[in-house]
Amino acid sequence: MNSSFDPDCRACSRLANFMDDVQVANPDYHCRPVAPFGDADAQVLVVGLAPGMHGANATGRAFTGDYAGNLLYETLHKYGFANKAESVALGDGLELLGLRITNAVLCLPPGNKPTTEEVQTCNTYLQNELGICKPDDLKDSAKRTQVILCLGAISHQAVLRAFRLKLKDYRFGHANEHSLPSGQLLLDSYHCSRYNTNTKRLTPEMFYQVFARAREVIESN
């Protein structure tokens, strides 16, 4: 598979067929792989899980049009990573500043639950976003970002797999930090999903803490 973004990728037949079905019911939806979004020379890369049914899968932009994006874009604006506090639709004038957003899986999964195989298949695109150009020489590969900020355990694990690191050596937990062999900082947060925020597993203050830390790291270098 080519590591650069492919808007017509159908490598995962389950996901491709599911999006076909969703588009029949919603002909105006994007229903294709959702491209990474933001600053091409970002200092921070945010890695989410996958496009939401009525969010990114509908609009074609990560965390746009769904509940999870509300807290995310408000927080990005609060800490100077976005020029606006909300993301409504493509063409709304939103710009990300020093930050880029992608997902562990770029296509909509049924029930918002990609399989392990689908995460692995999509990992080549994540490697490209991380600047891993030569799989046999990960430590010396080009590095675009200083901070890799993972929203949830699946994205955390996907990043570790991209770098061929052992999961047991880098435990996921909210606000956990890990120095990677590449010299980058892996920073964790619970996902800003409706479930996590409604149950108070993730509060706005907890989310702010993580992005404040990302801002602190890039400004100290």
**How confident is the model at residue 6, as a pLDDT?**
95
Whether the per-residue pLDDT at 2 is higher than 90: the answer is no
Stated pTM of the model: 0.93
Per-residue pLDDT reduced to its tens digit, 119-165: 999 999 999 999 874 444 444 444 568 999 999 999 999 999 999 99
The whole-angstrom separation of Cα 151 and Cα 197 is 13
Per-residue pLDDT reduced to its tens digit, 3-12: 689 999 999 9
Edge-to-edge strand order for the sheet containing 37-38?
Answer: 37-38, 99-103, 44-48, 147-151, 185-189, 177-179
- Boundaries of every domain in the chain: 13-220
The whole-angstrom separation of Cα 203 and Cα 210 is 11
Give the three-state DSSP class for 185: strand
CATH of 13-220, one of 2.40.10.10, 3.40.50.1980, 3.60.110.10, 3.40.470.10: 3.40.470.10
